[in-house]
Chain A
Amino acid sequence: MAKVFIYPATSLILSDMVERWGHSPLGAALAIRERIQTPGLDSPPLQMTADDPKKGLKYAAVEVPSGVRGRMALFGPMIDEADAAIIVNDADLAFGCMGCARTNELVKYRIRSRGIPVLDLLYPRCDEDGVAFVAAIKAFLDGLSGGEA
Protein backbone atom coordinates (compact mmCIF):
# COMPACT_ATOMS: atom_id res chain seq x y z
CA MET A 1 0.00 0.00 0.00
CA ALA A 2 1.42 3.36 -1.07
CA LYS A 3 0.79 6.74 0.54
CA VAL A 4 -0.71 8.93 -2.19
CA PHE A 5 -0.95 12.70 -1.78
CA ILE A 6 -4.02 14.08 -3.51
CA TYR A 7 -4.46 17.51 -5.06
CA PRO A 8 -6.87 19.20 -4.47
CA ALA A 9 -6.23 17.95 -0.96
CA THR A 10 -9.89 18.45 0.00
CA SER A 11 -11.25 16.20 -2.76
CA LEU A 12 -13.37 13.44 -1.23
CA ILE A 13 -13.74 11.80 -4.67
CA LEU A 14 -9.99 11.51 -5.14
CA SER A 15 -9.53 10.35 -1.56
CA ASP A 16 -12.17 7.66 -2.09
CA MET A 17 -10.62 6.45 -5.34
CA VAL A 18 -7.18 6.13 -3.76
CA GLU A 19 -8.61 4.16 -0.86
CA ARG A 20 -10.86 2.03 -3.07
CA TRP A 21 -7.90 0.89 -5.15
CA GLY A 22 -5.85 -0.17 -2.19
CA HIS A 23 -3.73 2.78 -1.15
CA SER A 24 -3.65 5.32 1.63
CA PRO A 25 -4.77 8.86 0.67
CA LEU A 26 -2.95 11.85 2.14
CA GLY A 27 -5.19 14.91 2.09
CA ALA A 28 -6.80 17.71 4.07
CA ALA A 29 -9.27 15.47 5.90
CA LEU A 30 -6.40 13.61 7.55
CA ALA A 31 -4.52 16.77 8.53
CA ILE A 32 -7.58 18.55 9.88
CA ARG A 33 -8.85 15.45 11.71
CA GLU A 34 -5.59 15.23 13.61
CA ARG A 35 -5.98 18.83 14.72
CA ILE A 36 -9.59 18.79 15.76
CA GLN A 37 -9.06 15.56 17.70
CA THR A 38 -6.10 16.98 19.59
CA PRO A 39 -7.23 17.85 23.09
CA GLY A 40 -6.19 21.05 24.77
CA LEU A 41 -6.53 23.38 21.81
CA ASP A 42 -9.23 26.01 21.52
CA SER A 43 -8.85 27.69 18.16
CA PRO A 44 -11.95 27.00 16.10
CA PRO A 45 -12.79 26.12 13.41
CA LEU A 46 -9.65 24.30 12.20
CA GLN A 47 -7.81 24.26 15.52
CA MET A 48 -4.90 25.98 13.85
CA THR A 49 -2.89 28.44 15.90
CA ALA A 50 -0.25 31.09 15.23
CA ASP A 51 2.35 28.32 15.65
CA ASP A 52 1.25 26.70 12.38
CA PRO A 53 2.47 29.47 10.05
CA LYS A 54 5.75 29.30 11.98
CA LYS A 55 5.96 25.55 11.28
CA GLY A 56 5.27 26.41 7.65
CA LEU A 57 8.57 28.32 7.58
CA LYS A 58 10.14 24.96 6.70
CA TYR A 59 8.41 25.21 3.32
CA ALA A 60 8.11 28.95 2.65
CA ALA A 61 10.11 32.00 3.71
CA VAL A 62 8.85 34.50 6.28
CA GLU A 63 8.02 36.96 3.50
CA VAL A 64 5.38 34.51 2.19
CA PRO A 65 1.85 35.34 3.49
CA SER A 66 0.91 33.63 6.76
CA GLY A 67 -2.06 31.86 5.15
CA VAL A 68 0.26 30.12 2.69
CA ARG A 69 2.66 29.11 5.45
CA GLY A 70 -0.21 27.85 7.62
CA ARG A 71 -1.51 25.72 4.76
CA MET A 72 2.00 24.41 4.13
CA ALA A 73 2.18 23.37 7.79
CA LEU A 74 -0.75 21.09 6.98
CA PHE A 75 0.25 19.82 3.55
CA GLY A 76 4.05 20.06 3.57
CA PRO A 77 4.66 17.09 5.92
CA MET A 78 2.23 14.97 3.91
CA ILE A 79 4.02 15.79 0.66
CA ASP A 80 7.30 14.81 2.36
CA GLU A 81 5.74 11.53 3.44
CA ALA A 82 4.04 10.65 0.14
CA ASP A 83 5.16 7.74 -2.08
CA ALA A 84 3.16 9.08 -5.03
CA ALA A 85 0.78 11.91 -5.89
CA ILE A 86 -2.20 12.68 -8.09
CA ILE A 87 -2.65 16.27 -9.26
CA VAL A 88 -5.94 17.33 -10.82
CA ASN A 89 -5.51 20.71 -12.47
CA ASP A 90 -8.25 23.32 -12.97
CA ALA A 91 -10.74 21.31 -10.93
CA ASP A 92 -14.28 22.51 -10.41
CA LEU A 93 -14.84 24.00 -6.95
CA ALA A 94 -17.26 21.18 -6.15
CA PHE A 95 -14.54 18.60 -6.79
CA GLY A 96 -12.19 20.06 -4.19
CA CYS A 97 -10.57 23.36 -3.50
CA MET A 98 -7.50 24.54 -1.60
CA GLY A 99 -8.62 28.16 -1.19
CA CYS A 100 -5.38 29.92 -2.02
CA ALA A 101 -3.83 30.10 -5.50
CA ARG A 102 -0.36 30.83 -4.13
CA THR A 103 -0.49 27.70 -1.95
CA ASN A 104 -1.60 25.73 -5.01
CA GLU A 105 1.49 26.83 -6.94
CA LEU A 106 3.80 25.90 -4.07
CA VAL A 107 2.11 22.57 -3.31
CA LYS A 108 2.28 21.44 -6.94
CA TYR A 109 5.90 22.52 -7.22
CA ARG A 110 6.87 20.64 -4.04
CA ILE A 111 5.12 17.51 -5.30
CA ARG A 112 6.79 17.65 -8.71
CA SER A 113 10.23 18.34 -7.28
CA ARG A 114 10.11 15.32 -4.94
CA GLY A 115 10.85 12.86 -7.71
CA ILE A 116 8.01 10.50 -6.75
CA PRO A 117 5.54 9.09 -9.30
CA VAL A 118 3.03 11.83 -10.13
CA LEU A 119 -0.12 11.64 -12.22
CA ASP A 120 -0.82 15.12 -13.64
CA LEU A 121 -4.37 15.38 -15.03
CA LEU A 122 -6.80 18.00 -16.27
CA TYR A 123 -10.22 18.03 -14.64
CA PRO A 124 -12.72 16.40 -17.09
CA ARG A 125 -15.46 18.58 -18.53
CA CYS A 126 -17.53 15.93 -20.36
CA ASP A 127 -18.61 12.30 -19.81
CA GLU A 128 -16.08 10.89 -22.25
CA ASP A 129 -13.21 12.73 -20.55
CA GLY A 130 -14.62 11.63 -17.19
CA VAL A 131 -14.34 7.96 -18.10
CA ALA A 132 -10.77 8.44 -19.32
CA PHE A 133 -10.01 10.43 -16.16
CA VAL A 134 -11.10 7.60 -13.83
CA ALA A 135 -9.32 4.99 -16.00
CA ALA A 136 -6.07 6.97 -15.86
CA ILE A 137 -6.27 7.24 -12.07
CA LYS A 138 -7.01 3.51 -11.72
CA ALA A 139 -4.12 2.58 -14.01
CA PHE A 140 -1.78 4.87 -12.07
CA LEU A 141 -2.82 3.45 -8.71
CA ASP A 142 -2.63 -0.13 -9.99
CA GLY A 143 0.92 0.52 -11.08
CA LEU A 144 1.99 1.57 -7.61
CA SER A 145 3.48 -1.17 -5.46
CA GLY A 146 1.04 -2.76 -3.03
CA GLY A 147 -2.10 -1.60 -4.81
CA GLU A 148 -5.08 -3.74 -5.69
CA ALA A 149 -4.66 -5.01 -9.23
Chain B
Amino acid sequence: MSAPVRVAQLSCGPEHSGVQKEIYDAAAAVNAEMFFPDVTLNDIREAYGSFGLEARSADLQLAIARAKALVEGRVEADAVFIATCFRCAEAAIVRNELRRYIHEQSDLPVVSYSFTERTTSGTLLTRMEALTTIARRRALLAREVQEGLTMGVDSGSSTTKAIVMRDNAIIGTGWAPTTNVIGSAEEVIAAACSEAGISRDDLDAIGTTGYGRFLVGEKIGADLVQEELTVNSKGAVYLAGRQRGEATVIDIGGMDNKAISVQDGIPGTFTMGGICAGASGRFLEMTAKRLGVDITELGPLAMKGFSKEVPMNSYCIVFGTQSLVNALAAGSSAEDVAAAACHSVAEQVFEQQLQEVDIKEPVIMVGGTSLIEGLVHEMGELLQTKVIVPPHSQYIGAVGSALLASGFIRGDLG
Protein backbone atom coordinates (compact mmCIF):
# COMPACT_ATOMS: atom_id res chain seq x y z
CA MET B 1 0.00 0.00 0.00
CA SER B 2 1.27 3.50 -0.82
CA ALA B 3 2.13 6.00 1.93
CA PRO B 4 -0.93 7.73 3.40
CA VAL B 5 -1.83 11.13 1.97
CA ARG B 6 -1.27 13.74 4.69
CA VAL B 7 -4.28 16.01 4.94
CA ALA B 8 -3.91 19.14 7.06
CA GLN B 9 -7.03 19.95 9.05
CA LEU B 10 -8.00 23.58 9.65
CA SER B 11 -11.16 23.62 11.70
CA CYS B 12 -13.32 25.06 14.42
CA GLY B 13 -15.80 22.90 16.29
CA PRO B 14 -15.54 19.29 15.04
CA GLU B 15 -14.34 17.90 18.38
CA HIS B 16 -17.14 19.59 20.32
CA SER B 17 -19.67 18.59 17.66
CA GLY B 18 -18.62 14.97 18.11
CA VAL B 19 -17.63 14.55 14.44
CA GLN B 20 -13.83 14.48 14.68
CA LYS B 21 -13.88 10.69 14.69
CA GLU B 22 -16.02 10.74 11.53
CA ILE B 23 -13.34 12.87 9.85
CA TYR B 24 -10.63 10.44 10.96
CA ASP B 25 -12.69 7.47 9.72
CA ALA B 26 -13.34 9.05 6.30
CA ALA B 27 -9.63 9.77 5.90
CA ALA B 28 -8.62 6.27 6.96
CA ALA B 29 -11.05 4.76 4.44
CA VAL B 30 -9.07 6.36 1.59
CA ASN B 31 -5.61 5.75 3.08
CA ALA B 32 -5.17 9.33 4.24
CA GLU B 33 -4.23 10.67 7.63
CA MET B 34 -5.43 13.90 9.16
CA PHE B 35 -3.04 16.10 11.06
CA PHE B 36 -3.12 19.50 12.70
CA PRO B 37 -0.22 21.73 11.58
CA ASP B 38 1.93 22.69 14.57
CA VAL B 39 2.12 26.40 15.25
CA THR B 40 3.27 28.37 18.29
CA LEU B 41 1.37 31.00 20.24
CA ASN B 42 3.58 33.60 18.61
CA ASP B 43 2.66 32.23 15.16
CA ILE B 44 -1.00 32.72 16.03
CA ARG B 45 -0.47 36.31 17.20
CA GLU B 46 1.63 37.12 14.15
CA ALA B 47 -0.68 35.42 11.66
CA TYR B 48 -3.78 37.01 13.16
CA GLY B 49 -2.24 40.45 12.71
CA SER B 50 -0.74 39.96 9.27
CA PHE B 51 -3.64 38.06 7.70
CA GLY B 52 -5.92 40.96 8.57
CA LEU B 53 -9.18 39.08 9.20
CA GLU B 54 -10.47 40.01 12.65
CA ALA B 55 -11.92 36.68 13.73
CA ARG B 56 -12.83 36.67 17.42
CA SER B 57 -12.94 32.90 17.91
CA ALA B 58 -9.57 31.57 19.03
CA ASP B 59 -9.99 28.32 17.07
CA LEU B 60 -10.48 30.35 13.91
CA GLN B 61 -7.40 32.42 14.71
CA LEU B 62 -5.55 29.12 15.07
CA ALA B 63 -6.90 27.97 11.69
CA ILE B 64 -5.59 31.19 10.11
CA ALA B 65 -2.14 30.63 11.63
CA ARG B 66 -2.13 27.04 10.38
CA ALA B 67 -3.12 28.14 6.87
CA LYS B 68 -0.25 30.63 6.80
CA ALA B 69 2.18 27.95 7.98
CA LEU B 70 1.06 25.72 5.08
CA VAL B 71 1.22 28.44 2.44
CA GLU B 72 4.62 29.66 3.66
CA GLY B 73 5.98 26.10 3.58
CA ARG B 74 6.72 25.87 7.31
CA VAL B 75 4.51 22.80 7.48
CA GLU B 76 4.26 20.24 4.68
CA ALA B 77 1.00 18.64 3.61
CA ASP B 78 -0.46 16.89 0.56
CA ALA B 79 -3.94 18.43 0.85
CA VAL B 80 -6.05 20.67 3.08
CA PHE B 81 -9.45 20.06 4.66
CA ILE B 82 -11.23 23.10 6.13
CA ALA B 83 -14.22 22.38 8.35
CA THR B 84 -16.36 24.63 10.53
CA CYS B 85 -19.82 24.51 12.08
CA PHE B 86 -22.84 24.88 9.84
CA ARG B 87 -24.78 28.12 10.60
CA CYS B 88 -21.80 29.98 12.08
CA ALA B 89 -21.41 33.23 10.15
CA GLU B 90 -17.98 34.07 11.52
CA ALA B 91 -16.69 30.61 10.65
CA ALA B 92 -18.22 30.80 7.17
CA ILE B 93 -16.27 33.99 6.45
CA VAL B 94 -13.00 32.51 7.71
CA ARG B 95 -13.58 29.18 5.96
CA ASN B 96 -14.24 30.87 2.64
CA GLU B 97 -11.29 33.26 2.88
CA LEU B 98 -8.87 30.52 3.94
CA ARG B 99 -9.99 28.30 1.09
CA ARG B 100 -9.42 31.14 -1.38
CA TYR B 101 -6.08 32.09 0.23
CA ILE B 102 -4.70 28.54 0.06
CA HIS B 103 -6.01 28.00 -3.47
CA GLU B 104 -4.43 31.21 -4.73
CA GLN B 105 -1.17 31.06 -2.79
CA SER B 106 -0.28 27.36 -3.06
CA ASP B 107 -0.89 24.32 -5.22
CA LEU B 108 -2.44 22.34 -2.39
CA PRO B 109 -5.84 20.83 -3.18
CA VAL B 110 -8.37 22.15 -0.70
CA VAL B 111 -11.94 21.33 0.21
CA SER B 112 -14.11 23.18 2.69
CA TYR B 113 -17.07 21.74 4.52
CA SER B 114 -19.61 22.93 7.09
CA PHE B 115 -20.76 20.16 9.39
CA THR B 116 -23.48 19.46 11.92
CA GLU B 117 -23.48 16.75 14.56
CA ARG B 118 -25.23 14.57 11.98
CA THR B 119 -22.23 14.56 9.65
CA THR B 120 -20.94 11.03 9.14
CA SER B 121 -17.82 9.57 7.61
CA GLY B 122 -19.99 8.42 4.69
CA THR B 123 -20.94 12.03 3.92
CA LEU B 124 -17.29 13.02 3.91
CA LEU B 125 -15.98 10.01 2.00
CA THR B 126 -16.30 11.26 -1.59
CA ARG B 127 -14.77 14.63 -0.69
CA MET B 128 -11.89 12.99 1.14
CA GLU B 129 -11.42 10.51 -1.70
CA ALA B 130 -11.25 13.36 -4.22
CA LEU B 131 -8.67 15.19 -2.09
CA THR B 132 -6.47 12.13 -1.90
CA THR B 133 -6.94 11.33 -5.60
CA ILE B 134 -5.73 14.80 -6.54
CA ALA B 135 -2.75 14.49 -4.20
CA ARG B 136 -1.90 10.89 -5.12
CA ARG B 137 -2.77 10.67 -8.78
CA ARG B 138 -1.61 13.94 -10.29
CA ALA B 139 0.20 12.07 -13.06
CA LEU B 140 -2.96 10.16 -13.95
CA LEU B 141 -5.12 13.29 -13.86
CA ALA B 142 -2.69 15.05 -16.19
CA ARG B 143 -3.70 12.63 -18.98
CA GLU B 144 -5.23 14.54 -21.91
CA VAL B 145 -5.56 11.83 -24.57
CA GLN B 146 -7.43 8.55 -24.45
CA GLU B 147 -5.45 5.61 -25.80
CA GLY B 148 -6.31 2.00 -26.71
CA LEU B 149 -9.77 0.53 -26.23
CA THR B 150 -11.25 1.47 -22.87
CA MET B 151 -14.62 1.69 -21.21
CA GLY B 152 -15.95 3.98 -18.49
CA VAL B 153 -19.03 3.20 -16.39
CA ASP B 154 -20.79 5.87 -14.32
CA SER B 155 -23.16 4.30 -11.79
CA GLY B 156 -25.10 7.39 -10.72
CA SER B 157 -27.97 7.82 -8.27
CA SER B 158 -30.54 8.35 -11.06
CA THR B 159 -28.96 6.90 -14.18
CA THR B 160 -26.18 4.55 -15.19
CA LYS B 161 -24.03 5.35 -18.20
CA ALA B 162 -21.29 3.55 -20.14
CA ILE B 163 -18.93 4.80 -22.80
CA VAL B 164 -16.51 2.87 -25.00
CA MET B 165 -13.60 4.84 -26.44
CA ARG B 166 -10.94 3.90 -28.97
CA ASP B 167 -7.95 6.08 -29.86
CA ASN B 168 -9.41 9.26 -28.39
CA ALA B 169 -12.89 8.87 -29.92
CA ILE B 170 -16.23 7.77 -28.47
CA ILE B 171 -17.43 4.68 -30.32
CA GLY B 172 -20.17 3.31 -28.08
CA THR B 173 -22.68 4.61 -25.53
CA GLY B 174 -25.13 3.07 -23.10
CA TRP B 175 -27.67 4.74 -20.81
CA ALA B 176 -30.33 3.39 -18.42
CA PRO B 177 -32.15 4.50 -15.29
CA THR B 178 -30.45 3.10 -12.18
CA THR B 179 -32.64 0.43 -10.64
CA ASN B 180 -30.60 -2.61 -9.66
CA VAL B 181 -27.05 -1.23 -9.51
CA ILE B 182 -25.35 -4.27 -11.09
CA GLY B 183 -28.23 -4.98 -13.46
CA SER B 184 -28.30 -1.42 -14.78
CA ALA B 185 -24.51 -1.46 -15.22
CA GLU B 186 -24.65 -4.75 -17.17
CA GLU B 187 -27.39 -3.30 -19.37
CA VAL B 188 -25.47 -0.15 -20.32
CA ILE B 189 -22.20 -2.02 -20.77
CA ALA B 190 -23.90 -4.41 -23.21
CA ALA B 191 -25.42 -1.47 -25.11
CA ALA B 192 -22.13 0.42 -25.33
CA CYS B 193 -20.18 -2.65 -26.45
CA SER B 194 -22.83 -3.52 -29.02
CA GLU B 195 -22.79 0.01 -30.47
CA ALA B 196 -18.99 -0.07 -30.56
CA GLY B 197 -19.03 -3.50 -32.21
CA ILE B 198 -16.72 -5.06 -29.63
CA SER B 199 -16.89 -7.70 -26.93
CA ARG B 200 -15.93 -7.00 -23.32
CA ASP B 201 -12.88 -9.20 -23.65
CA ASP B 202 -11.49 -6.80 -26.24
CA LEU B 203 -11.23 -3.96 -23.71
CA ASP B 204 -7.76 -2.91 -22.60
CA ALA B 205 -8.93 -1.20 -19.40
CA ILE B 206 -12.11 -0.27 -17.55
CA GLY B 207 -12.90 2.57 -15.14
CA THR B 208 -15.90 3.10 -12.85
CA THR B 209 -17.24 6.15 -11.04
CA GLY B 210 -20.45 7.35 -9.36
CA TYR B 211 -22.28 6.12 -6.25
CA GLY B 212 -22.13 2.49 -7.34
CA ARG B 213 -18.47 2.60 -8.38
CA PHE B 214 -17.17 0.17 -5.76
CA LEU B 215 -19.86 -2.45 -6.30
CA VAL B 216 -19.78 -2.23 -10.10
CA GLY B 217 -15.99 -1.92 -10.14
CA GLU B 218 -15.57 -5.12 -8.17
CA LYS B 219 -18.14 -6.98 -10.26
CA ILE B 220 -16.63 -6.10 -13.65
CA GLY B 221 -12.99 -6.11 -12.55
CA ALA B 222 -12.34 -2.40 -13.14
CA ASP B 223 -8.76 -1.18 -13.32
CA LEU B 224 -9.76 2.25 -12.01
CA VAL B 225 -12.42 2.96 -9.38
CA GLN B 226 -12.54 6.71 -8.76
CA GLU B 227 -14.95 9.26 -7.25
CA GLU B 228 -16.92 11.51 -9.56
CA LEU B 229 -15.41 14.86 -8.57
CA THR B 230 -12.06 14.31 -10.25
CA VAL B 231 -13.45 12.08 -12.99
CA ASN B 232 -16.19 14.52 -14.00
CA SER B 233 -13.75 17.46 -13.98
CA LYS B 234 -11.50 15.57 -16.31
CA GLY B 235 -14.36 14.49 -18.57
CA ALA B 236 -15.74 18.04 -18.69
CA VAL B 237 -12.56 19.81 -19.76
CA TYR B 238 -11.74 16.96 -22.17
CA LEU B 239 -15.10 17.13 -23.95
CA ALA B 240 -15.19 20.94 -23.90
CA GLY B 241 -11.66 21.13 -25.33
CA ARG B 242 -10.52 23.21 -22.35
CA GLN B 243 -7.88 20.97 -20.83
CA ARG B 244 -5.42 23.77 -20.24
CA GLY B 245 -6.03 26.78 -18.02
CA GLU B 246 -8.88 27.62 -15.70
CA ALA B 247 -12.48 26.42 -15.82
CA THR B 248 -15.47 25.89 -13.56
CA VAL B 249 -17.44 22.66 -13.82
CA ILE B 250 -21.04 22.50 -12.60
CA ASP B 251 -22.82 19.18 -12.36
CA ILE B 252 -26.39 19.26 -11.04
CA GLY B 253 -27.06 15.62 -10.32
CA GLY B 254 -30.05 13.56 -9.31
CA MET B 255 -29.01 13.41 -5.68
CA ASP B 256 -26.25 15.96 -5.22
CA ASN B 257 -24.59 18.85 -6.98
CA LYS B 258 -20.95 19.51 -7.63
CA ALA B 259 -19.19 22.79 -8.32
CA ILE B 260 -15.53 22.40 -9.14
CA SER B 261 -12.90 25.03 -9.82
CA VAL B 262 -10.42 23.42 -12.21
CA GLN B 263 -6.86 24.30 -13.20
CA ASP B 264 -5.38 22.35 -16.14
CA GLY B 265 -8.04 19.68 -15.70
CA ILE B 266 -7.27 19.10 -12.01
CA PRO B 267 -9.72 20.28 -9.34
CA GLY B 268 -8.34 22.96 -7.05
CA THR B 269 -11.38 23.60 -4.88
CA PHE B 270 -14.75 21.98 -4.99
CA THR B 271 -18.02 21.73 -3.16
CA MET B 272 -20.48 18.91 -3.16
CA GLY B 273 -23.94 19.55 -1.80
CA GLY B 274 -26.79 17.22 -1.22
CA ILE B 275 -28.79 18.68 1.64
CA CYS B 276 -31.75 20.11 -0.28
CA ALA B 277 -33.58 18.09 -2.89
CA GLY B 278 -35.19 21.32 -4.15
CA ALA B 279 -31.83 22.14 -5.72
CA SER B 280 -31.34 18.84 -7.52
CA GLY B 281 -32.14 17.26 -10.82
CA ARG B 282 -34.77 15.22 -9.02
CA PHE B 283 -36.90 18.37 -8.60
CA LEU B 284 -36.82 18.95 -12.35
CA GLU B 285 -37.91 15.35 -12.92
CA MET B 286 -40.86 15.92 -10.61
CA THR B 287 -41.70 19.18 -12.34
CA ALA B 288 -41.73 17.46 -15.74
CA LYS B 289 -43.94 14.70 -14.36
CA ARG B 290 -46.40 17.21 -12.86
CA LEU B 291 -46.51 19.16 -16.13
CA GLY B 292 -47.15 15.92 -18.02
CA VAL B 293 -44.10 16.23 -20.25
CA ASP B 294 -41.03 14.07 -20.70
CA ILE B 295 -37.92 15.37 -18.95
CA THR B 296 -36.37 15.93 -22.40
CA GLU B 297 -39.18 18.37 -23.21
CA LEU B 298 -38.80 20.43 -20.02
CA GLY B 299 -35.85 22.48 -21.28
CA PRO B 300 -37.42 23.67 -24.54
CA LEU B 301 -40.67 24.34 -22.65
CA ALA B 302 -38.83 26.49 -20.09
CA MET B 303 -37.17 28.50 -22.84
CA LYS B 304 -40.63 29.68 -23.93
CA GLY B 305 -41.62 30.87 -20.44
CA PHE B 306 -40.69 33.64 -18.03
CA SER B 307 -39.40 32.51 -14.65
CA LYS B 308 -40.25 35.82 -12.97
CA GLU B 309 -43.96 35.19 -13.54
CA VAL B 310 -44.00 32.38 -10.93
CA PRO B 311 -42.64 32.72 -7.38
CA MET B 312 -40.61 29.60 -6.63
CA ASN B 313 -37.52 29.35 -4.47
CA SER B 314 -37.82 26.47 -2.10
CA TYR B 315 -34.97 24.56 -0.52
CA CYS B 316 -37.30 21.62 -0.12
CA ILE B 317 -38.61 19.43 -2.91
CA VAL B 318 -42.01 19.14 -1.19
CA PHE B 319 -42.50 22.89 -0.78
CA GLY B 320 -41.08 23.47 -4.26
CA THR B 321 -43.70 21.13 -5.69
CA GLN B 322 -46.33 22.93 -3.62
CA SER B 323 -45.32 26.26 -5.23
CA LEU B 324 -45.54 24.58 -8.60
CA VAL B 325 -49.03 23.20 -7.92
CA ASN B 326 -50.21 26.57 -6.55
CA ALA B 327 -48.90 28.37 -9.62
CA LEU B 328 -50.69 25.99 -11.98
CA ALA B 329 -53.89 26.31 -9.93
CA ALA B 330 -53.61 30.10 -10.16
CA GLY B 331 -53.53 29.87 -13.95
CA SER B 332 -49.81 30.11 -14.69
CA SER B 333 -48.75 28.59 -17.98
CA ALA B 334 -46.75 25.35 -18.14
CA GLU B 335 -43.99 27.32 -19.87
CA ASP B 336 -43.68 29.84 -17.03
CA VAL B 337 -43.77 27.09 -14.40
CA ALA B 338 -41.05 25.13 -16.23
CA ALA B 339 -38.92 28.27 -16.46
CA ALA B 340 -39.49 29.02 -12.76
CA ALA B 341 -38.46 25.49 -11.78
CA CYS B 342 -35.23 25.82 -13.77
CA HIS B 343 -34.57 29.25 -12.24
CA SER B 344 -35.23 27.93 -8.74
CA VAL B 345 -32.72 25.08 -9.09
CA ALA B 346 -30.11 27.34 -10.71
CA GLU B 347 -30.54 30.01 -8.05
CA GLN B 348 -30.18 27.57 -5.17
CA VAL B 349 -27.07 25.97 -6.65
CA PHE B 350 -25.73 29.51 -7.14
CA GLU B 351 -26.52 30.56 -3.57
CA GLN B 352 -25.53 27.37 -1.79
CA GLN B 353 -22.53 26.16 -3.71
CA LEU B 354 -21.13 28.54 -6.27
CA GLN B 355 -20.32 30.97 -3.47
CA GLU B 356 -17.83 28.42 -2.17
CA VAL B 357 -15.75 28.13 -5.33
CA ASP B 358 -14.25 30.91 -7.38
CA ILE B 359 -16.09 31.09 -10.67
CA LYS B 360 -13.51 31.07 -13.44
CA GLU B 361 -14.52 31.11 -17.08
CA PRO B 362 -15.28 29.08 -19.03
CA VAL B 363 -18.19 27.66 -17.04
CA ILE B 364 -18.91 24.09 -18.21
CA MET B 365 -22.19 22.39 -17.29
CA VAL B 366 -22.27 18.61 -17.40
CA GLY B 367 -24.45 15.69 -16.37
CA GLY B 368 -27.96 14.81 -17.49
CA THR B 369 -29.41 18.13 -16.33
CA SER B 370 -27.10 20.05 -18.67
CA LEU B 371 -29.37 18.86 -21.48
CA ILE B 372 -32.22 20.87 -19.94
CA GLU B 373 -31.82 24.00 -21.99
CA GLY B 374 -33.84 26.16 -19.61
CA LEU B 375 -31.61 25.27 -16.66
CA VAL B 376 -28.43 26.12 -18.58
CA HIS B 377 -29.99 29.41 -19.67
CA GLU B 378 -30.95 30.35 -16.10
CA MET B 379 -27.49 29.46 -14.80
CA GLY B 380 -25.91 31.60 -17.51
CA GLU B 381 -28.18 34.51 -16.55
CA LEU B 382 -27.22 34.20 -12.88
CA LEU B 383 -23.50 33.96 -13.61
CA GLN B 384 -23.63 36.57 -16.37
CA THR B 385 -21.68 34.33 -18.70
CA LYS B 386 -22.20 31.94 -21.58
CA VAL B 387 -22.28 28.42 -20.20
CA ILE B 388 -20.64 25.68 -22.28
CA VAL B 389 -22.42 22.35 -22.62
CA PRO B 390 -20.03 19.95 -24.36
CA PRO B 391 -21.20 17.09 -26.59
CA HIS B 392 -21.98 13.88 -24.69
CA SER B 393 -22.23 15.99 -21.51
CA GLN B 394 -24.71 13.50 -20.00
CA TYR B 395 -21.99 10.81 -20.19
CA ILE B 396 -19.39 12.97 -18.47
CA GLY B 397 -18.44 10.54 -15.70
CA ALA B 398 -18.20 7.61 -18.10
CA VAL B 399 -16.06 9.62 -20.53
CA GLY B 400 -13.75 10.80 -17.74
CA SER B 401 -13.46 7.22 -16.51
CA ALA B 402 -12.68 5.81 -19.97
CA LEU B 403 -10.10 8.56 -20.53
CA LEU B 404 -8.35 8.02 -17.19
CA ALA B 405 -8.58 4.22 -17.44
CA SER B 406 -6.28 4.32 -20.45
CA GLY B 407 -3.52 5.25 -17.98
CA PHE B 408 -3.83 1.70 -16.65
CA ILE B 409 -3.30 -0.10 -19.95
CA ARG B 410 0.39 -0.54 -19.27
CA GLY B 411 -0.36 -0.96 -15.59
CA ASP B 412 2.13 1.74 -14.69
CA LEU B 413 -0.18 4.04 -12.74
CA GLY B 414 -2.09 3.51 -9.58
Stretch at the interface among B11-19, B258-266, B394-402: B11-19
Is B46 among interface residues, defined by CB-CB distance under 8 A? Answer: no
The CB with the most chain A CB atoms within 10 A, among B84, B90, B116, is that of: B116
Q: Are A53 and B20 in contact (CB under 8 A)?
A: no
Closest chain A residue to B44 by CB distance?
A93
Closest chain A residue to B87 by CB distance?
A65
Which chain A residues lie closer than 8 Å to B91 at the CB level? Answer: 65
Closest chain A residue to B120 by CB distance?
A50
* B8-37 CB contacts (< 8 Å) to partner A: 12-21, 24
Of the candidates B45, B86, B118, which one forms a contact with A65 in the assembled complex, judged by CB atoms under 8 Å apart? B86
* A57-71 CB contacts (< 8 Å) to partner B: 63-71
- From DSSP, what is the main secondary structure of chain A's interface residues? loop
Is A42 among interface residues, defined by CB-CB distance under 8 A? Answer: yes
Cβ distance A78 to chain B, nearest Cβ, rounded Å: 15
CA distance A43 to B23 in the complex (A): 11
Q: Are A101 and B90 in contact (CB under 8 A)?
A: yes
Which chain A residues lie closer than 8 Å to B21 at the CB level? Answer: 42-44, 49
* B44-88 CB contacts (< 8 Å) to partner A: 44-45, 55-59, 61, 84-88
Which chain B residues lie closer than 8 Å to A97 at the CB level? Answer: 58
The CB with the most chain B CB atoms within 10 A, among A63, A65, A74, A94, is that of: A65
Q: Are B85 and A93 in contact (CB under 8 A)?
A: no
Which chain B residues lie closer than 8 Å to A101 at the CB level? Answer: 55-58, 90
CA distance A74 to B15 in the complex (A): 12
Is A45 among interface residues, defined by CB-CB distance under 8 A? Answer: yes
Closest chain A residue to B88 by CB distance?
A65
CA distance A66 to B91 in the complex (A): 12
The answer to whether A66 and B116 touch (CB under 8 A), given A102-B57, A102-B90, is yes
Is B115 among interface residues, defined by CB-CB distance under 8 A? Answer: yes
Of the candidates B19, B24, B44, B58, which one forms a contact with A99 in the assembled complex, judged by CB atoms under 8 Å apart? B58
Q: Top 4 A-B pairs ranked by shortest CB distance?
A: A67-B13, A70-B16, A65-B85, A101-B56
